[in-house]
Chain A
Amino acid sequence: MIRLCEWLLQRTLPDDIADHVIGDLVEQTHRGSFWLLYETISAIVLLRARRQQGDRMLQTFFGDMRLGARMLRRSPAFTTTAVLTLGLAIGATVAIFSVINPVLLRSLPYPSPDRLAFVWERNRDGTRDNVGFQTIVDVASRAKSIERWAAIGGWTPTIGDAEPEVVTGDRVSWSYFRVLGVAPALGRDFLQEEDQPNHQLEVILSYGLWQRKFGGDSSIVGRQISVSGTKMTVVGVMPASFDNAVTTQSKIWRVLGYAPSQPFACRTCHHLRMLVRVKPGVSLAAASSEIDGILGSLIAENPTQYASVGAQVVRAQDEITRAYRPALLALGGAVLLVLLIGIANVANLQLARAVRRSDEFAIRSALGASRGRVRRQLLAEGLVLALLGGTSGAIIGRLALPMLVDQLPPGLPRLDAIRFDGGAFGIIAAIVLALALALTLAGARRDRRDLGESLRSGQRLATGSHQMARSTFVVVEIALATMLLVSATLVARSLVLLLGVNAGFDASHLLTLQVTATGARYPDNASLFAYHDRLRTAVRAVPGVQSVALTNQVPLAGNVDMYGVLDPDNMPANPELVPSGDRYVVSPEYFSTMKIPILRGRAYTDGDAADTTNKVALVSAALAERLWPNQNAIGHHIRLGGTQGPTRTVIGVTGNVKHRGLDATTTQQFYAPEPQWLFADNAEMIVVRTTLAPSSLVQAVRRAVSSLDPTVPISAVATMDDVIAQSTAQRRLALVLFAAFAVAALLLSAAGIYGVLAGNVAERTREIGLRAALGAAPREIMSLVITQGMRLAVFGLVLGLVGAAGLTRFLQTLLFNVGENDVATRVVVVAVLAVVTLAACAIPASRAVRINASEALRGE
C-alpha cells in the first residue's frame, strides 16, 4: 500500500513536496492501509489544487471531487449501499481470481514448463492407469522425443526416533529434479549411481520439513536421520521457492532404486507415474504420437502383460489442474455474474439518484452551467464513489482470501502461490468502475434535454427514459440471479443426494486412526502380526469401545490399493483383463465393526485366519456378480496377486462399499484375513466402534496404542463422519460459494426491483392520487404496482432460465444424480424468485395504497 501511495504522490506532486509527504507517511505506516490511502488522497487534493492555481480545469475538478464527497456524505444510505455493493462484487471476484490465477492459469514454476508431460497407459474405455517400471524404461529408451524422464512412486515414511512422524514423500528416479529443472539449495542432487537396487540410502528434504523438523540446521546435510527405522543420509535440501506442484504434499524424496529384474518392476506393476521432459523444438503432439506408437508396439510384443491400448500423454500443467479445473472455472463464472449484478445495481442506484436530483441539475444549468460542466460534476462524484468502492473491494478481497484459502482442499496444487492478486484487483476494479461510470453517464445524458422542462414545471416529468433504463438493469439483474440460483440449487441438490447415498457401512460412532510400525522392532511379518493382535486387545479394553477392527485401508479416505482378482477355474488369455478389487486385509471383527452386511455365506473367524493352508476370502456383491454372473459365489475360488498367487475359497459375499467416493459407480472389494495375506502391512488402520461420541475417545485410544509402543507414530485420527465430510469437501466448498453468490444476487435484484417500484410510485403520486379520487379501489392500485414489478421479474426469469442452460453445462462435475436441465430445480427457483419479488413489491405497493388523494392533488 505504501508503494502505491508513494507512486501516486510522486506522480502528482512536485518532487520537493512529495518527498517529505512520503517521509511523513512512511513514518506512520503502522496506522494501516486505509489511513495511508486517505492521507495520500487528502494530501494530493489539498496540495495539488493549491499549487496549480493556473490549471482551472483541474482545480474545478478537485473542487467537484470535494463537492461530490460532500454530496455523498449527505446521502449515507445511497453511499453505503453503492460502496458495499461495489466492494463485495470486486472483493469476491478478486479473491476467486487470486486463487484461479496461480492454480489454473499461471505456468508451473519450472523452466520451460510446457515441455513437461505425464505418460499414462490408456485403456480401451478411455480410463487410464499408472505404468510399470519396465514399461517406463522401454518407452524412455525408444522415444527420441524425450530429453529426460523420471519415474515417481508414492512413499509415506516415518521420520525421527523420539517423536516419530508420518510424512508424505516420493520415491523418484535420480533424475527427477533435473527433469523439473530445479536443484537443491543446500547439498547436492541425487547421483545416477545412487539409483540402484538395495542402495536407496539418500534423501532430499523439502525446505518446509527441514525448517519444521530440523530447525533449519544447515549441518543436516551429510548427517544420517532415521527414516522408517533405517538410517538414511540427507544429501540435500530443496530451496524455499521450490513448489512441488507435481505431487503437492510431498516433503521428502529418496531414489527409487528399481531394476527391471525386480518383481515389483514388472510391466503389470502399475504403481508408478512417468514424468518426461520433451526435447526442445519437439511439439508435445509429436512426442505424444511417438510415445503412443511405442506403447502400441510394447503391447503387441507382450500381449499378456497389458490391458491398455496405447499411451496418454498429458501436459504437466493440465494434468496437475485436471481435478480442480471444472469447479474453479464454474466458480469463476459465478463470481463474474455477481460482479455484473453489482455493476447493474450501482448504475441503477445512480440513476435513481439522478432522478431525485433533476431539480438541482436544472437550477445549475439555469444559472449557466454548461452541459459538460454538469456532466463533469457527475463524473467527479462517480470517481469519489469509485475510489471508495475500490478501496472497500480491496479490503473485502484481502479479508475474504484467507478465509477462502482455509476452505480449499489441501491437495490443491500451487496452494502456496496464492496471494492477493494486485494485478487482478487493478484490472477488475478498473473495469467495474469504468462500466459503472459509463452506465451512469449514459443514463444522465438522456435526461439532459428535459432539464429546462423540469425546472419550469417544478415537477418530475423527466422520468420515462430513466424508468426504461432502470427497468432494463433490473431485468438483467434478475436474469443473472436466476442463473446463479439454478446453479446453486443444482449443486445443493447434488450434495443432499450424495450424502443420502448408502456408503455400505454405518459411519456413525466410528473412530479411525493409523499406526505405522517400522524399524528394527518389526523385522518380519510375524512381529507385525503379533503387534496388530496386541493392538486389538489393548484398544478393546478402552472404556466406551464397543468393538475394534484392523484393516489396511478404510473407505472414502482416498486410498487406492487394488489387486487383480483371477478365477483360477476360468483363466482368461490375458490375465491383465481380469477385474480389480479394492484390497481389504482385515481382522475378523471388521464386518461387524463397520456394520457391513454379509449377504451370503459367513464372515471368517480368528480360527479361519490362523489356518494358513486353507485360505479364505470374502468378495463384495458387485465383484461376485462380475466374476460369476447369476451364480452363487460361495465355494468358487479366486487368486489374488497375479496368476501365481495362492488360491482362496470364497466363503461369503458382502454388501458393496463406496470405496472411492460416495459418487463412485464401481464398488468391487475383496476381504482376506491378515495372517493369510502375502505380507504384513506396516501402516495399519484401527477402526473403533464406540458407544459414546467417537471424538471423546480419541485421547484414551491414543494412550492405549502408545502404551504398547510409544515409538510407533499415530496419524490420520478422524471420525468416519470427518472422513466422509472430507471426501465431499470440494462439493461443499462449491456449494457454500454458489449459495453465497446466489443469495447476494437475489438480495441485489430484490433491492433493484424495490428501487424501481418505489421511485415509480413516488413519481406517480399525483396520478395514483387522481385514480384514488376517481374511485379506484386499493386492490386495483396495489395490482398496478405489483403487475409492474412482476412484469420485470418474468422477463428476467425467462432470460435467466435460458442463460442457466448455458451455464450449467460447466457444472457437470459438481452434479450428482441431478440432470443439468432438472425441472424440479427450475420450479424451486421460480418459486423463490416469485416470493422475493412479491416481497420487494409489497412496500411500494402499500405506500401507493396509502397515498392520500386530496393531499396528492393539492400539490397541483
Chain B
Amino acid sequence: MLGELEQLVLLGVMRAGPDAYGVPVHDEIQRRAARDLTLGTIYKTLARLEEKGLVTSRIGEPTAERGGRRTRCFHVTPAGSRALQASIRSLRRMAAGLDVGLDPA
C-alpha cells in the first residue's frame, strides 16, 4: 500500500509527462490537488519511490534556463503503475457503497 504523498507524487510524475522533474511535479500537485508541498518533500518522496523501484530517473540535458544545471527526469516503472493501481483500487473498494460525500466515480 502506498502512502498518500507517494500516491500524489507518482500521479504528479505521470501527469508531468516524459520530462517530469521537481518543479513540474510540484506544480501539478499544487494545481490539481491544491497541496502546497515543498520541493524538498517532493525530492524526498521521489528518492523513496526510486529506492522501492516504483520510479526510475535519468539525468537530462543541462539547460540555460536553469543556469546550466541538469534535470533529473523521473518516470513511473511498471511496478509503480501496478502499485498505484492496487492502491487506488483498494481505496475505491473501501469507499464503494458508502456515502463519503463524493459523487460516485
Binding site for B on A (CB under 8 A): 16-17, 19-28, 38-39, 41-47, 50
Q: Tell me, in angstroms, the Cα distance from A21 to B70 when the chains sit together.
A: 9
- Measured between beta carbons, the chain B residues less than 8 angstroms from A46 are 38, 40-41, 43-44
The reply to whether the CB of B101 lies closer than 8 angstroms to some CB of chain A is: no
- Measured between beta carbons, the chain B residues less than 8 angstroms from A25 are 39
Q: Tell me, in angstroms, the Cα distance from A44 to B40 when the chains sit together.
A: 7
Q: Is the CB of B22 within 8 A of A20?
A: yes
Q: Which of B8-16, B61-69, B87-95 contacts A (4 or more CB under 8 A)?
A: B61-69
Specify which of A17, A26, A41, A44 is in contact with B66 (CB 8 Å cutoff): A26
Q: Is the CB of B23 within 8 A of A43?
A: no
- Measured between beta carbons, the chain A residues less than 8 angstroms from B47 are 47, 50
Shortest distance in angstroms between A43's beta carbon and chain B's nearest beta carbon?
A: 4
Known A-B contacts: A26-B67, A42-B40. Give 10 more (CB < 8 A).
A20-B21, A20-B59, A20-B71, A21-B22, A23-B71, A24-B22, A24-B66, A26-B69, A27-B23, A45-B40
Q: Tell me, in angstroms, the Cα distance from A19 to B60 when the chains sit together.
A: 12
Binding site for A on B (CB under 8 A): 21-23, 38-41, 43-44, 47-48, 59, 65-67, 69-72
- Measured between beta carbons, the chain B residues less than 8 angstroms from A20 are 21-22, 59, 69-72
Provide 26 A-B residue pairs closer than 8 Å at the C-beta atoms, listed in order of the A residue. Answer: A16-B59, A16-B72, A19-B70, A20-B21, A20-B22, A20-B59, A20-B69, A21-B22, A21-B39, A21-B43, A23-B66, A24-B22, A24-B66, A24-B71, A25-B39, A26-B67, A27-B23, A28-B23, A42-B40, A43-B39, A46-B38, A46-B40, A46-B43, A46-B44, A47-B44, A50-B47
Q: Tell me, in angstroms, the Cα distance from A43 to B66 when the chains sit together.
A: 18
Specify which of A17, A24, A38 is in contact with B21 (CB 8 Å cutoff): A24
Shortest distance in angstroms between A656's beta carbon and chain B's nearest beta carbon?
A: 67
- Measured between beta carbons, the chain A residues less than 8 angstroms from B40 are 39, 41-47
Shortest distance in angstroms between B37's beta carbon and chain A's nearest beta carbon?
A: 9
- Measured between beta carbons, the chain B residues less than 8 angstroms from A50 are 44, 47-48
User: Inter-chain contact count A-B, CB under 8 Å?
Assistant: 64
- Measured between beta carbons, the chain A residues less than 8 angstroms from B70 are 19-20, 23
Q: Is the interface of A mostly helix, strand, loop or mixed?
A: helix
Q: Is the CB of B71 within 8 A of A38?
A: no
Q: Is the CB of B39 within 8 A of A23?
A: no
Name the CB-closest residue of A to B57.
Answer: A20
Shortest distance in angstroms between B66's beta carbon and chain A's nearest beta carbon?
A: 4
Q: Is the CB of A17 within 8 A of B43?
A: yes
Q: Tell me, in angstroms, the Cα distance from A44 to B44 when the chains sit together.
A: 10
- Measured between beta carbons, the chain B residues less than 8 angstroms from A27 are 23, 65-66
Q: Is the CB of A43 within 8 A of B69?
A: no
Q: Is the CB of A42 within 8 A of B38?
A: yes
List 7 A-B pairs, minimum CB-CB distance, nearest first.
A23-B69, A42-B40, A43-B40, A24-B22, A42-B38, A20-B72, A23-B66
- Measured between beta carbons, the chain B residues less than 8 angstroms from A28 are 23
- Measured between beta carbons, the chain A residues less than 8 angstroms from B38 are 38-39, 42-43, 46
Shortest distance in angstroms between A63's beta carbon and chain B's nearest beta carbon?
A: 14
Q: A19-B69, A19-B70 are in contact. Are A24 and B39 (CB under 8 A)?
A: yes
- Measured between beta carbons, the chain B residues less than 8 angstroms from A43 are 38-40, 43
Q: Tell me, in angstroms, the Cα distance from A26 to B70 when the chains sit together.
A: 11
- Measured between beta carbons, the chain A residues less than 8 angstroms from B23 are 24, 27-28
Name the CB-closest residue of A to B41.
Answer: A46
Q: Tell me, in angstroms, the Cα distance from A16 to B69 when the chains sit together.
A: 11
Q: Tell me, in angstroms, the Cα distance from A47 to B23 when the chains sit together.
A: 16
Shortest distance in angstroms between B64's beta carbon and chain A's nearest beta carbon?
A: 10
- Measured between beta carbons, the chain A residues less than 8 angstroms from B48 are 50
- Measured between beta carbons, the chain A residues less than 8 angstroms from B44 are 46-47, 50
Q: Tell me, in angstroms, the Cα distance from A854 to B54 when the chains sit together.
A: 65
Q: Is the CB of A47 within 8 A of B67?
A: no
Q: Tell me, in angstroms, the Cα distance from A211 to B39 when the chains sit together.
A: 44
Name the CB-closest residue of B to A49.
Answer: B44
Q: Tell me, in angstroms, the Cα distance from A16 to B72 when the chains sit together.
A: 9
Q: Tell me, in angstroms, the Cα distance from A19 to B59 when the chains sit together.
A: 10
- Measured between beta carbons, the chain A residues less than 8 angstroms from B22 are 20-21, 24
Shortest distance in angstroms between A404's beta carbon and chain B's nearest beta carbon?
A: 33
Q: A24-B21, A24-B22, A46-B44 are in contact. Are A39 and B67 (CB under 8 A)?
A: no
Shortest distance in angstroms between A29's beta carbon and chain B's nearest beta carbon?
A: 9
- Measured between beta carbons, the chain B residues less than 8 angstroms from A17 are 43
Q: Tell me, in angstroms, the Cα distance from A131 to B39 when the chains sit together.
A: 67
Q: Is the CB of B67 within 8 A of A23?
A: yes
Shortest distance in angstroms between B43's beta carbon and chain A's nearest beta carbon?
A: 6
Q: Tell me, in angstroms, the Cα distance from A26 to B64 when the chains sit together.
A: 10
Q: Tell me, in angstroms, the Cα distance from A42 to B65 when the chains sit together.
A: 23
Q: Tell me, in angstroms, the Cα distance from A373 to B96 when the chains sit together.
A: 49
- Measured between beta carbons, the chain A residues less than 8 angstroms from B43 are 17, 21, 43, 46-47
- Measured between beta carbons, the chain B residues less than 8 angstroms from A41 are 40
Shortest distance in angstroms between A4's beta carbon and chain B's nearest beta carbon?
A: 14
Q: Tell me, in angstroms, the Cα distance from A20 to B69 when the chains sit together.
A: 7
Q: Tell me, in angstroms, the Cα distance from A39 to B23 when the chains sit together.
A: 12
Name the CB-closest residue of B to A29.
Answer: B67
Name the CB-closest residue of A to B37.
Answer: A42
Shortest distance in angstroms between B24's beta carbon and chain A's nearest beta carbon?
A: 9
Shortest distance in angstroms between A15's beta carbon and chain B's nearest beta carbon?
A: 11
Q: Tell me, in angstroms, the Cα distance from A46 to B44 when the chains sit together.
A: 6
Q: Tell me, in angstroms, the Cα distance from A23 to B24 when the chains sit together.
A: 12
Shortest distance in angstroms between B70's beta carbon and chain A's nearest beta carbon?
A: 6
- Measured between beta carbons, the chain A residues less than 8 angstroms from B65 are 27
Q: Tell me, in angstroms, the Cα distance from A46 to B65 when the chains sit together.
A: 26
Highest count of chain A CB atoms <10 Å: which of B43, B48, B59: B43
Shortest distance in angstroms between B21's beta carbon and chain A's nearest beta carbon?
A: 7
- Measured between beta carbons, the chain A residues less than 8 angstroms from B69 are 19-20, 22-23, 26
Shortest distance in angstroms between A65's beta carbon and chain B's nearest beta carbon?
A: 13
Q: Is the CB of A42 within 8 A of B39?
A: yes
Name the CB-closest residue of B to A26.
Answer: B67
Name the CB-closest residue of B to A24.
Answer: B22
Q: Tell me, in angstroms, the Cα distance from A41 to B43 when the chains sit together.
A: 13
- Measured between beta carbons, the chain A residues less than 8 angstroms from B21 are 20, 23-24
